Structure 1
Amino acid sequence: MDLFYTPEYAKTGDVIPFYNEDLKQFDHYYLKNWNPDAPKDKVIYGWHRITTTDNRNYIETPTKIHGGTGSVIKVNGLYHMFYCTFDQDPPAQWARHATSTDLTDWEDIPEEKFGPDGMIYKMSDWRDPFVFWNEEENKWWMLLAARENAPTERNGCVALCVSEDLSRWEYREPLYAPRLNQAANECPDLFKMGDWYYLVYSNYTDGFCTYYRMSRSLSGPWIRPEVDTFDGRAFYAAKTGFDGKDHYIYGWNPTRGENGWEFDPGKEFGKDYKTWNWGGSIVVHKIIQHDDGTLGVCPVDSVANAFSKMKNSGLHSLTGNWNINESVAVCESPDGYSAAIGAKIPEVCRVKAKLKYNGNPTRFGIALQVDDTYAQGYYLMFEPWYNRIQFRSGLRMYEQGGQMFPYAVEMERPLKLEAGKEYDLEIYIQGTLAVLYVNNDLAFGFRMYNEKDRQLGFFVSEGSLEVKDVTIEEE
């Protein structure tokens, strides 16, 4: 059973969502990154169409479009694809236009390709066109990943071009130009939910995430919410889709192991300690809107409803003062680290638990793929002092880990933590890929390569912890 789509012999790159209103299904596209060992007779380059009715199971069809991320719309019975291409000598990036009557065979319109103007926008980045109809102006708007002519190299922006016929485009000032990032704001995307507009983009400088901004108007101002991301480092190039009822966001959780950036350590420590690849598996979150307009995410229904069998958690004390009965485990650990351990984690499963802390623990949380040594494994550490969840892998407990990661945190997600409040946790695991959801509102994706076929655990350091309703569920 797959929870998160991964093509055979390949990785999923950027997803281009499109909802087919006529057939009541999503006809998405994605950029396919073939693995080095893919059989040559299977390799078909270009955009690939992936059809789904549940955002979990996909039917894949290659297209003849070769290029980068874009968008698809339907106008008067004709489908329009906007995408991008890249020249190498000299380097240049172009917005492109193609049309289709069936969503599979596309005819490019070469005379309509265009690049940055060299005045508002630098002659460099110009990609990922996103096209939508602006009802307020009665014109088509195109957003692009670009770099404005600015005083410094912090010039990444979301460019804006405007058209009346989808063929001729007028350059406008950027829709959003915070002069924050030293690279283009990639894969721009925009949607409206209630009274709010949401601008979505990804960036890999000064952070590596998909971000969003919110506004009551397309003319701004674009507000940065307190938590301005949908997931963590392992969720990138995300774009949104809408089926008339729910909004979804589609990103990729990257794999590891190819050393494409030539950053891997010389000594072999396993895939957990290799650099991220470009592309991996599609992770889809359902978007939730809060009363103040800010956004959260939860699992899509098809993933949340994928499990029917429940196994006993088998939780028992390993170290410290634990009081464990059938549904509740309580630990008082005022002066050290206490751990409990349970059943083996299946290859594909959902782990559920409710956690509540008291006092002022340095950290508490869930351990995955551990054994009785509680050393190698993976730790989701809830840290009240920092108001965050930290993901930490087992090598971080050893000297080599500190040498390899000369920074304090491997991956993290912000979360305001309050003593006495119950936190409802769900972890969806598919092989090496896992996504944690907290209170059906916050997501945190990660990978686990080195350790497998081991156990579930819970821990607390210098405080008290209550663990309730622990279950491990399978298909």
Structure 2
Amino acid sequence: MKYRTFIFWLGICGVLCGVLHCALGAPEGPRLTGYVQDTTIKPFIVTSDGKDLGDPFPSFWDGVWHLYSMSADAGRVVHFTSTDLVKWAEHKPAMVGKDICTASVLRHDHKYYLFYTDGAAQALRVVVSKNPWEFDFSKSQLAAEADGKVYQKGWFRDVYVTYNESEKQWWMLFEGRCPEVCTGLFKSKNLLQWTQCEPIFKDKGREYGSCPQIFKQGKLWYLAIQDCGNWYYSADTPNGPWTNRGQYLSIIVEAASRFATDGKRQIAWGWLCDWVAKPNVEIKSYGGPMCVGREMVPQANGALGVRPFPELLAAIRKKANKIDFSTVRKLSGDWKIEAAQRTLQCTGGSGGVILLDLPAKNPNCYFEAELEFGTPGTSANIVMRSSDTAERGYAFALAPADRKIAIRGFDNPVTGPVLNDKAYAFPGKNKVSLQIFICDNYMEAFVDGQQCLSVRAADRSCDKLAIAISGGPATLRNPFLHYFNNKDGK
């Protein structure tokens, strides 16, 4: 009887532990390493041993998000899971081998299929498993390769597999040459035998068409590719013809053209490279931490915006706000500071600068606010990692009159070199909402849940935050600051 009672309570404890684990956002599953990355503490995902990641290929099943990715050395498939898009549980590598490049994981008839690119052979292969946790590299089999006629040999990579409902068969997309850059197509009824077809997309003007993926949102089909930045196209059918819609992410966010969906929205990541984007792209190495996860935001005109996961923002906002209005210092101009209303108002006609003299010596933080421009000619610079005089730092610049957003820095944040910029129409006219992440070597700035800029921000010598207004008055409402961990974990 005692034995049965012991077993009963042991089972109850196991169930409760499992429920608690899932409630915390990191789902249970085999092959867990024990490491959980909380993105309210460190927003850019890396492995437990600090290793960089490569091209991601996420999936979603049974309420769990699976973030698979290449390893930077192309020898493993890295695997994280989450139920809340905030806390990510690391699993042991889903597959270990060699030359494992951009891939696609799907589930069908209680089996899991990992399609991947054999980087050395430039061919597409598949491994079948009974679970999403482990794929046996030794059981890999050829799925497709270039025929040397329609598709040139030597450039046949970045496989993506999806089910075409109207045709009732599987589509395999990949980057190829025919001879121009193309999104190639094979079709299958059973995921193992594939028939070659004509490309769905060609573009002589492209240098690359890497990591292609298609998905349907509303009435439109979208094709996303990587070519010195992430580009997207729209069409009425998955066969095209495709209309170029432009870039949706910054150039240093690599391989963010692979999406996962829960049937309601499309989400994506890319890895942050150590490239210097401007004035000339300087390629240094492959792999980096994962960027802040994005949710694609469809617009009435068919365009797609991007915003951080709402779940992540909600989790960050539950943390204590680190802004004490008594620490605000006026460096120039006329300012009205109202702590009770949580507003910082620049009242002078020529602008001014204030400094948040933050108590913590931590260069890693999240900042958000609502900004209202007082005149059409007013502009603003939100200077992250600012010096005491606001003469150094990384500045998120917003200029409604120029219809442009930019990040400048570090030695001259207001008039210095542009690290990343984009045209932006400012749909809210004189009002914008801002979310800025800066941690370790990178900074990402989102505006209005529509656009994002990303830059390498390796200088961590300063830790203040400054607001610089030019050309007229402006009001900053509800500023919120949250600290991330320093790189050494403190």
1:392 Cα offset (Å): 1.0
1:280 Cα offset (Å): 1.6
1:241/1:249 contact within 8 Å kept: yes
1:218 aligns with 238
1:465 Cα offset (Å): 2.4
Is structure 2 residue 314 aligned with structure 1 residue 305? yes
Question: Equivalent pairs: percent with the same residue?
Answer: 22
Report Cα offsets for 1:409-435 as digits up to 9, x if no partner: 321133113795210112133333332
- Within 5 Å, give how 1:119-158 maps onto structure 2: 119-149=149-179, 155-158=180-183
1:331 Cα offset (Å): 2.9
What is the aligned counterpart of 1:31 among 67, 70, 73? 70
Is structure 2 residue 73 aligned with structure 1 residue 64? no
2:124/2:156 contact within 8 Å kept: yes
- Within 5 Å, give how 1:76-475 maps onto structure 2: 76-87=109-120, 92-103=121-132, 104-107=134-137, 112-149=142-179, 155-183=180-208, 185-204=209-228, 209-225=229-245, 228-238=246-256, 239-255=258-274, 277-283=285-291, 284-307=293-316, 308-311=319-322, 312-313=324-325, 314-326=327-339, 327-331=342-346, 338-344=352-358, 346-361=362-377, 363-395=379-411, 409-417=418-426, 421-474=430-483
Secondary structure of the equivalent of 1:293? coil
1:342 Cα offset (Å): 0.9
List alignment gaps of at least 5 residues for structure 1: 35-43, 150-154, 258-262, 266-272, 403-407
Amino acid aligned to 2:194: W
2:307/2:451 contact within 8 Å kept: yes
Report Cα offsets for 1:193-243 as digits up to 9, x if no partner: 222222111112xxxx11211222112222223xx3332123220110012
| Count of residue pairs the alignment pairs up | 429
Secondary structure of the equivalent of 1:394? coil
Change (3 A) 1:276 1:342: farther
1:191/1:198 contact within 8 Å kept: yes
1:19 aligns with 60
Give TM-score scaled by structure 2 length.
0.79
1:448 Cα offset (Å): 2.2
Moved more, 62-71 or 388-397: 388-397
Report Cα offsets for 1:331-358 as digits up to 9, x if no partner: 35656x7321113274553212111224
Amino acid aligned to 1:324: I
Secondary structure of the equivalent of 1:303? helix
Structure 1 vs Structure 2 CA RMSD: 3.0
Moved more, 65-74 or 276-285: 276-285
2:143/2:193 contact within 8 Å kept: no
Amino acid aligned to 2:467: F
Change (3 A) 1:86 1:252: closer
Secondary structure of the equivalent of 2:190? coil
Moved more, 75-84 or 439-448: 439-448
1:405 aligns with none
What is the aligned counterpart of 1:5 among 14, 30, 45? 45
List alignment gaps of at least 5 residues for structure 2: 1-40, 485-490
Moved more, 289-298 or 131-140: 289-298
Secondary structure of the equivalent of 2:123? strand
Report Cα offsets for 1:13-72 as digits up to 9, x if no partner: 111112233xx31233211126xxxxxxxxx93212222222332323112243101101
Report Cα offsets for 1:220-273 as digits up to 9, x if no partner: 222223xx333212322011001233321121122469xxxxx999xxxxxxx9
Distance 2:244 2:207 in 1: 18
Change (3 A) 1:292 1:28: same
More strand by share: 1
